[in-house]
Structure 1
Amino acid sequence: MRVHLGSDHAGLDLKAHLVEWLGEHGYEAVDHGPFVYDAVDDYPVFCLRAAEAVARERAAGQDSMGVVIGGSGNGEQMAANKVTGIRCALAWSEETAKLARDHNDAQMVSVGGRMHSLEDMTRFVEVFLAEPFSGDERHVRRIGQLTSYDETSVLPPLPASAQGLGPDAGLDA
């Protein structure tokens, strides 16, 4: 499996570690940068490229995945999620890494290089890459709603139990 990586300066050392770790564990790592430390670099430059590569390869039928890394992982996740078709989850535990795949069929994971130990972050990536999507109907349905919104910007209809409640009350669905 090919794994695309991007980061900012705060994730540079973890990214270098992951490139090596991935190769040792049978993955093909593709590093989209940065390649040198720059305290004022812009993570979108690198994370968008990693996400674009994952989206392009998956559209071509490849089983590519991605990892983006920053200080907290928040901005990197947001950048990756701007790419149409990408679902990037922020992992802060083994359980969130597992659920990102099992429930959300995420193709990318984001980790915070300043939030956890090197061993923990490596484990989050390991769990994420190993976990299959469950394919449960409810998860497929929810992902379908996200994909539809991503493509059309049309909100999914409210369920009958929510009709007439909340800020949509009185509006045509």
Structure 2
Amino acid sequence: MRVHLGCDHAGLDLKSHLTTRLTELGHEVVDHGPFVYDALDDYPVFCIRAAEAVVRDREQGLDSLGVVIGGSGNGEQMAANKVTGIRCALVHSDETAKLAREHNDAQVVAVGGRMHSIEDMTRFVEVFLAEPFSDEERHVRRIEQLDVYDRTGRRPPLPESARGLGPAEDQD
């Protein structure tokens, strides 16, 4: 599998470690930067490039996922999620890493380089990369709703059970 990496200065140590570890596991690692420590660097450029590369690879039928890393992982997740077609999940445990793939078919994972040990974060990434999407109908349906909104800005229709119950009512 090809794994695209992007981070900020707070993620450099983990990115370096992951490059070695994932290569040892047989993955092809593509590093989108940064390549040197700069406490004032801006994470969006690196995370967006990694996410865009995942989209391009997947459009070509390649087995590809991404990892974005920052101090908390929050901003990096937000940056990756700005790329049309990407679902990036911030993970903080083995379970959230597993569910990001199994239920949400996330193509990119975000981790906080200052939130966990390198060993824990490495395990979260390994769990994420190893977990397949379940293809269960309910998950496929929900992802399709997100994809339609991402492409068109059209919200999913309210379910009958929510109609007429207040502020959630569509005003279209």
TM-score range, shorter chain: over 0.9
How far apart in 2 are the matches of 1:90 and 1:169? 30
Contact 1:43 1:76 survives alignment (8 Å): yes
Cα deviation for residue 170 of structure 1 reads 7.0
Q: Quick one: which amino acid aligns to residue 163 of structure 1?
A: R
Root-mean-square deviation (Å): 0.9
**Distance change >3 Å, CA 10–CA 170, structure 1 → 2:** closer
Aligned position for 2:146: 146
Q: Quick one: which amino acid aligns to residue 80 of structure 2?
A: A
How far apart in 1 are the matches of 2:84 and 2:13? 28
SS at match of 1:10: helix
Q: Quick one: which amino acid aligns to residue 42 of structure 2?
A: D
1:74-110 Cα shifts (integer Å, max 9, x gaps)? 0000000000000000000000000000000000100
Aligned position for 2:3: 3
Structure 2 residues not aligned, in runs of 5+: none
How far apart in 1 are the matches of 2:171 and 2:26? 53
Aligned position for 2:34: 34
Contact 2:158 2:169 survives alignment (8 Å): no
Aligned position for 2:124: 124
Q: Quick one: which amino acid aligns to residue 68 of structure 2?
A: V
4+ residue segments displaced more than 3 Å: 168-172
Contact 1:7 1:46 survives alignment (8 Å): yes
Cα deviation for residue 169 of structure 1 reads 3.4
SS at match of 2:119: helix
Q: Quick one: which amino acid aligns to residue 68 of structure 1?
A: V
Contact 2:11 2:113 survives alignment (8 Å): yes
Cα deviation for residue 60 of structure 1 reads 1.0
Contact 2:2 2:65 survives alignment (8 Å): yes
How far apart in 2 are the matches of 1:142 and 1:9? 35
Contact 1:148 1:154 survives alignment (8 Å): yes
Question: So what's the TM-score if we normalise by structure 1?
Answer: 0.97
Aligned position for 1:53: 53
Contact 2:162 2:168 survives alignment (8 Å): no
Aligned position for 2:100: 100
Question: So what's the TM-score if we normalise by structure 2?
Answer: 0.98
Aligned position for 2:167: 167
SS at match of 1:166: coil
Cα deviation for residue 165 of structure 1 reads 1.4
Cα deviation for residue 166 of structure 1 reads 2.7
Aligned position for 1:157: 157
How far apart in 1 are the matches of 2:59 and 2:166? 38
Cα deviation for residue 149 of structure 1 reads 0.4
How far apart in 1 are the matches of 2:171 and 2:128? 41
In percent, how many aligned pairs have the same letter? 77
1:12-37 Cα shifts (integer Å, max 9, x gaps)? 11000000001000000000000000
Cα deviation for residue 171 of structure 1 reads 3.2
How far apart in 2 are the matches of 1:145 and 1:170? 16
